[in-house]
Chain A
Amino acid sequence: MDIQIALLLAQDGIVNGAIYALLALALVLVFAVTRVIFIPQGEFLAFGALTLASFQAAKVPGTLWLLIGMGIAISIIELASSSRLRGGRRRLTFALGWNLAYPAVLAAIVLLAKPGDWPLVLQVVLALALVVPLGPMIYRLVYQPLASASVLVLLIVSVAVHLALVGLGLLFFGAEGSRTPAFSEASFSLGDVTITGQTLWVIGASLLLIVGLYLFFERSLWGKALRATAINRVGAQLMGISTTQAGKLCFLLAAAIGAMSGILVAPITTIYYDTGFLVGLKGFVAAIVGGMVSYPLAAAGAILVGLLESFSSFWASAFKEVIVFTLIIPVLLWRSMTTRHVEEEEE
């Protein structure tokens, strides 16, 4: 291996690592606030990329039907429960607006406005508008009724959600993969190594998202409220920070991060309906490096996973996945050595 190949592999590793970092941050966020280990995180990546690809192929993405379907399901549930709770009417209007009217408007745009002819930026915006609301909707339908369940139950349910979404992904987008055009065709030479514009896009956008998240958590009231919920759920509840609202907000952020990563990475890698899972799991390995609580450690872990993957694909490509997933074993070992007194008296 010469220095040029090493640089090439490093570039690859860092690009993938940036994506894993985004997913890892989303996973840490969701876990810290809701205790949900969000296995379906990767599905948002696939949904984001494939929805965009559908627009470009002038097809109607199946995610639209999913949005409409979940909206109807939530509306039915809200209607049934609105009679019980005080202040129900305002809440109901709000819920019906988001769950019926919003999908209807999007459906009209997608079906009538021919987004296939739009410029890329608008297509991206529309894809995000379609995929991101699925996050809070999933929270509402699946996790909100289980708010008091144990981490373990939430994890198993997450796996169930993942299965259902992968199955739906296959139904919506078929077994064939898609690639989207690059955001930028430019490329730069750095010594012997060529850096493509898309690479810079991925890295730049990831950094921007990370900085944005940092500012959100440090400066805004809702960001602080989410941190407070993560630090002390009971305390946050007593301040009037609704666990449900915090949960929905987290899922919104997670879905947005997932869909964004998908859209960023789709010009580099072919995305299949089930690509998300593997990518998401690698984000997981990174999140576990961070102990599911530390954002900087998770991001560092992500870069490590990315580099490990790209270098092992050079040396032992058949065992690339084995190597990446086996990384978790020494990490867990290290955690078990450093974690003293483990006793979760969780009911």
Chain B
Amino acid sequence: MSPRVLSGILLVLLMAGPLVLPEFHITLLNYIGLYALVALGLVLLTGVGGLTSFGQAAFVGLGAYTTGYLTTAEELPAVLSWFGASPWLTLVAGLLVTLAVAGILGLLTLRLSGHYLPLGTLAWGMSLYFLFGNVSFLGGHTGMTGIPPLSLFGFELRDGRRLYYLIWLILLVAVWMTQNLLDSREGRAIRALKGGGIMAEAMGVDTARSKMVIFLVAAAFAAISGWLYAHMQRFVNPTPFGLHIGIEYLFMAVIGGAGHVWGALVGAGLITVLKQWLQDLLPRVFGASGNFEIIVFGLLMIFVFHRARDGLWPLLARVVPVKRSARAVPSGQPLARRAHPAVGTRLLEVRDAVKKFGGLVANNQMSLEVHAGEILALIGPNGAGKSTLFNLVTGVDPPTSGEVHFLGDRVDGRSSREIARRGMSRTFQHVRLLPAMSVLENVAIGAHQRGSAGVAAAAVHGERGEEARLLAEAARQIERVGLVDAMFDAAGNLALGQQRIVEIARALASDPSLLLLDEPAAGLRYLEKETLAELLRKLRDEGMGILLVEHDMDFVMGLADRVVVMEFGEKIAEGLPEEVQSNPAVIEAYLGGVE
């Protein structure tokens, strides 16, 4: 069965629902739809982006309370009065309020490392909840009544059966847009957030922006859900927007499968039905009334994390008989290339760079130059400070003093993203690929800065032309390094040597003038080294400048035009390979420690 047929069947079933099902089930399905919309935002935020929020219920509350207030208030302030005209306008208002609040909270917390964001969400989830319950114009703990029903083209969506179609239409559109977004240039950047932050920045991705995007999208989904909820219930009070409900939303996403858009639906469905059933069953079992279902939910969550870390959707997807279509090598018009400097132009100049970590001087008065069309090798014993220098040049760490110039501009102190945009690209000593993504997608991240389509275009797949060109460029670079056969394999399944080559392809996809390679030959077999050397020579002959940090002497001596030798953070020699080899200081450094 193809995925298309399967989703067609499901869609027909969904459409037929209100015609055959009893009221109770329709209500349940409506709730599932509303919850799934919030959980979908969390799939994007938590499952894909690696950011966690316990406070989504508060965003749902913002959406619900905004429309509740604007459609029921007796006298609105003049500026707001026109919002009260239609619930559709209050949706806009609710989104604006939510995005503003989320934007502020995001600015405060997204820059912080992993666990501060969820802790922050716990706190503001609490605080918004108490605010809803204590502000008199929002009705306090009793809430607000008399919210009008939605109407569409003069047709009132007064009961659940009618609202059903709107809820599910909105949900399916949201799922479609989320899927589109993830399968795009912006989506690759988002998928790189989890475990690939440094790499993504080095490829020119603005990771702070990507984080903000998913945070806002998730908040917007929650606000829409809240708006629908308010007009379905026609009444709002603080209870459904408390922290425990926020936690439940997260559970839905995690149990369903936080890495997959359909996981949101599975999780929301499961938790909603289970809750309904347990709320009925448990008080009878225990002979007391109360929310005992949270015991089961808690244990269920722990179980999922112990036994099925990726949630239920992957297990479900394995059972469903869906055939995957074969992938074709992408084709598209070549991307525009940057103007590369002529051979011999000075690309990179490091002047008296010093880097101190506390009292430790990792780099001392380091200077070097790389020109277009040459390979400069930076060698030295382990711990000599080569990687530190690499980080100074690429903007991962700013130098303590000294200057770095790239193509005539001073770049020290700039971010690695800005430096990457100017035409410098790098590989990492410890391979930084996204193991679950295909080689093609990994390499396409390298071309990120050569595209421009935004989130909105990606969400409706209005950028397919550019996307095809980006993927075609990635495919070209994969071909160039000789990995065509592995193009659609998950990068994590490749041998270490091949992974290093993928890193080079990714760096090349950014069309760099200067290529920085951090120990590219480490872990490579002899023949692989030969192939790599040949590729690097070809690139040099095309006019690219290459700075190579390497440990393997044979590899360096046969390849480099010039060599700089470092020891204890300082340059001890510089010159042609033959000169360096016979330099007594170099011999001492390499053979050091023995008389």
In the complex, A touching B, CB below 8 Å? Answer: yes
User: Which A residues fall within an 8 A CB radius of B?
Assistant: 37, 142, 145-146, 149-153, 155-157, 159-168, 170-171, 174-175, 281, 284-285, 288, 292, 318-319, 321-322, 325-326, 328-329, 332-333, 335-336, 339, 341-347
B305 touches A325 (CB 8 A): no
Q: Which residues of B contact A343 (CB under 8 A)?
A: 113, 197-198
Q: List 7 A-B contacts (CB under 8 A).
A: A162-B298, A168-B295, A171-B290, A326-B124, A339-B112, A341-B397, A342-B112
Among candidates A145, A332, A342, residue contacting B120 with C-beta atoms closer than 8 Å: A332
Task: Known A-B contacts: A159-B247, A165-B298, A325-B124. Give 11 more (CB < 8 A).
Answer: A151-B115, A156-B250, A160-B302, A168-B295, A171-B292, A285-B123, A321-B127, A326-B124, A332-B116, A336-B109, A345-B195
Tell me the smallest distance from the CB of A93 to a CB of chain B, in Å: 26
Is the Cβ of A336 less than 8 Å from the Cβ of B108? yes
Establish whether residues A164 and B299, one from each chain, have CB atoms under 8 Å apart when the complex forms: yes
Q: Report how far A342 CA is from B295 CA in the complex, Å.
A: 36
Residues of chain B within 8 A (CB-CB) of A329 are: 105, 108, 120, 123-124
Among candidates A155, A292, A328, residue contacting B123 with C-beta atoms closer than 8 Å = A328
Contact with A160, one of B109, B301, B397 (Cβ below 8 angstroms): B301
B131: Cβ under 8 A from any A Cβ? yes
- Closest Cβ of chain B to A15, distance in Å, is 22
Bound: A101/B297 CA distance, A: 30
Of B131, B290, B294, the residue contacting A163 (CB under 8 A) is B294
CB distance from B192 to the nearest CB of A (A): 12
Task: Evaluate whether A163 and B298 lie within 8 angstroms (CB atoms) in the complex, with A151-B115, A344-B114 already known.
Answer: yes
> Across the two chains, which residue of chain B brings its CB closest to A339?
B112
Cα separation A329 to B119 with both chains bound (whole Å)? 11
* Selected contact of A175 from candidates B108, B122, B290, B302, CB within 8 Å: B290
What is the bound-complex CA distance between A174 and B288, given in angstroms? 8
Interface string of B49-84 (1 = CB under 8 A from A): 010101000000000000000000000000000000
Q: Give the residues in chain B near A165, CB-CB below 8 Å.
A: 298
Q: By the criterion CB–CB under 8 Å, are A163 and B295 in contact?
A: yes
Measured between alpha carbons, how far is A328 from B105 in the docked complex, in Å? 11
**A341 CB contacts on chain B under 8 angstroms:** 397
Q: What is the bound-complex CA distance between A336 and B107, given in angstroms?
A: 10
Query: Nearest CB to that of A166 among chain B residues?
Result: B294
A142-B302, A162-B298 given as contacts; is B115 within 8 A of A152 (CB)? Answer: yes
- Tell me which residues from 188 to 225 in chain B have a Cβ below 8 Å from any Cβ of chain A: 195, 197-198
* A318 pairs with B134, CB closer than 8 A: yes
Among A142, A156, A333, A347, point to the contact of B195 (Cβ < 8 A): A347
The answer to whether B113 touches A342, judged by C-beta atoms less than 8 angstroms apart, is yes
Which residues 243-257 of B sit at the A interface, judged by CB distance below 8 A?
A: 244, 247, 250-251, 254
| Inter-subunit contact B111/A342 (CB<8 Å) | yes
B113-156 CB contact bits vs A (8 Å, 1 = yes)? 11110111011101100110010000000000000000000000
Find the residue from B122, B123, B286, B309 having the highest chain A CB count within 10 A: B123
A152 touches B50 (CB 8 A): yes
**Are B305 and A146 touching (Cβ within 8 A)?**
yes
Verify A170–B290 contact, CB threshold 8 A: yes
Q: Which of B115, B118, B197, B292 has the most CB of A within 10 A?
A: B115
Query: Do residues B306 and A281 form an inter-chain contact, with CB atoms below 8 A?
Result: no
Determine if A281 and B123 form an interchain contact, defined as CB atoms under 8 angstroms apart: yes
Residues of B within 8 A of A319 (CB): 130-131, 134
Kindly list chain B residues whose C-beta atoms are within 8 Å of the C-beta of A325.
Answer: 123-124, 126-127, 130
Counting CB contacts under 8 A, is B333 at the interface? Answer: no
Instruction: Give the A-B pair count, Cβ closer than 8 A.
Output: 148
Q: For the complex, what is the distance from the CA of A164 to the CA of B305, rounded to whole Å?
A: 15
Q: Is B291 part of the contact surface with A, judged by Cβ < 8 Å?
A: yes
Q: Which residues of A contact B302 (CB under 8 A)?
A: 142, 157, 160-161, 164
Q: Which of B114, B286, B299 contacts A152 (CB 8 A)?
A: B114
Rounded to whole Å, the gap between the CB of A59 and the closest CB of chain B is: 14
Q: Which residues of B lie under 8 Å from residue A149 when comparing CB positions? A: 305
Q: Inside 8 A of A151's CB, which chain B residues have their CB?
A: 114-115
B116 to chain A, nearest CB (A): 6
**Measured CA separation A171–B295 after assembly (Å):** 10
Partner among A160, A288, A333 whose Cβ is within 8 Å of the Cβ of B298? A160
Closest B residue by C-beta to A327: B123
Q: How far is the CA of A145 from the CA of B308 in the complex (A)?
A: 13
Closest 10 A/B residue pairs (Cβ): A164-B298, A167-B295, A160-B301, A163-B298, A325-B127, A328-B123, A167-B294, A318-B134, A321-B130, A163-B294
* B306 & A145 in contact (Cβ 8 Å cutoff): yes
Contacts of A171 in B (CB 8 A): 286, 288, 290, 292, 295
Report the contact-size class of chain B (Cβ under 8 Å from the partner): 35 or more
Contact of A155 among B115, B297, B299, B309 (CB under 8 A): B115
Residues of A within 8 A of B296 (CB): 167
Cβ–Cβ < 8 Å partners of B195 in chain A? 345-347
Q: Which residues of B contact A (CB under 8 A)?
A: 50, 52, 54, 105, 108-109, 111-116, 118-120, 122-124, 126-127, 130-131, 134, 195, 197-198, 244, 247, 250-251, 254, 286, 288, 290-302, 305-306, 309, 397
Q: Which A residue sits closest to B251, measured CB to CB?
A: A160
Whether B118 contacts A152 by the Cβ 8 Å rule is yes
**A327 CB, min distance to chain B CBs, angstroms:** 8
B301 touches A157 (CB 8 A): yes
Q: Which of A146, A149, A322, A326 has the most CB of B within 10 A?
A: A322
Chain A contacts of B309 at CB under 8 A?
A: 153
Cα A168 to Cα B294 in complex, Å, equals 9
Complex Cα–Cα for A150 and B305 (A): 11
B122 partner, pick from A160, A281, A346, A347, beta carbons under 8 A:
A281
B115 in contact with A157 (CB, 8 Å): no
B109 proximity list for chain A (CB < 8 A): 332, 336
Bound: A333/B112 CA distance, A? 9
**Chain B nearest CB: distance from A269 CB in Å?**
18
Name the CB-closest residue of A to B254.
Answer: A156
CB of A157 within 8 A of CB of B52, answer no
The CA of A103 and the CA of B76, in the complex, are separated in Å by 63
Is the CB–CB distance between B108 and A333 below 8 Å? yes
A135 CB, min distance to chain B CBs, angstroms: 16
- On whether A163 and B305 interact (CB within 8 A), knowing A321-B130, A329-B108, A342-B113, the answer reads no
User: Which A residues touch B397, using CB under 8 A?
Assistant: 341
- Asked if A163 and B244 make an inter-chain contact with CB atoms under 8 angstroms apart, the answer reads yes
Q: Which residues of chain A have C-beta atoms less than 8 A from B254's C-beta?
A: 156
| Residue ID in chain A nearest B120 by CB atoms | A332
Measured CB to CB, the nearest residue on chain B to A287 is: B119
| Contacts A156-B305, A171-B295, A325-B126 given; does A336 touch B112 at CB 8 Å | yes
Q: Contact between B54 and A159 (Cβ–Cβ < 8 Å)?
A: yes
Return the chain B residue nearest A145 by Cβ: B306
- Cα A149 to Cα B115 in complex, Å, equals 13
Distance in angstroms from B121 CB to nearest chain A CB is: 10
Tell me how far the C-beta of A45 lies from the nearest C-beta in chain B, rounded to whole angstroms: 17
CA distance A75 to B337 in the complex (A): 66
Closest CB of chain A to B505's CB: distance in Å?
Answer: 22
Q: Are B116 and A167 in contact (CB under 8 A)?
A: no
A68 to B286, CA, bound (A): 18
Residue from A161, A175, A328, A346 having most chain B Cβ neighbours under 10 A? A328
Closest A residue by C-beta to B51: A152
| Chain B, Cβ-Cβ closest to A324 | B127
User: Knowing A163-B244, A321-B130 touch, does A288 contact B295 (C-beta < 8 A)?
Assistant: no
Query: A166 contacts which chain B residues (CB < 8 A)?
Result: 294
Which interface residue of A37, A145, A156 has the most chain B CB atoms within 10 A? A156
Write out the residue numbers on chain B whose beta carbons fall within 8 Å of the beta carbon of A155.
52, 115, 118-119
Give the residues in chain A near B54, CB-CB below 8 Å: 159
Are A164 and B131 in touch, CB under 8 angstroms?
A: no
User: In whole angstroms, how far apart are the Cα atoms of A336 and B211 in the complex?
Assistant: 15
| Contacting residues, chain A, for B130 (C-beta < 8 A) | 319, 321-322, 325
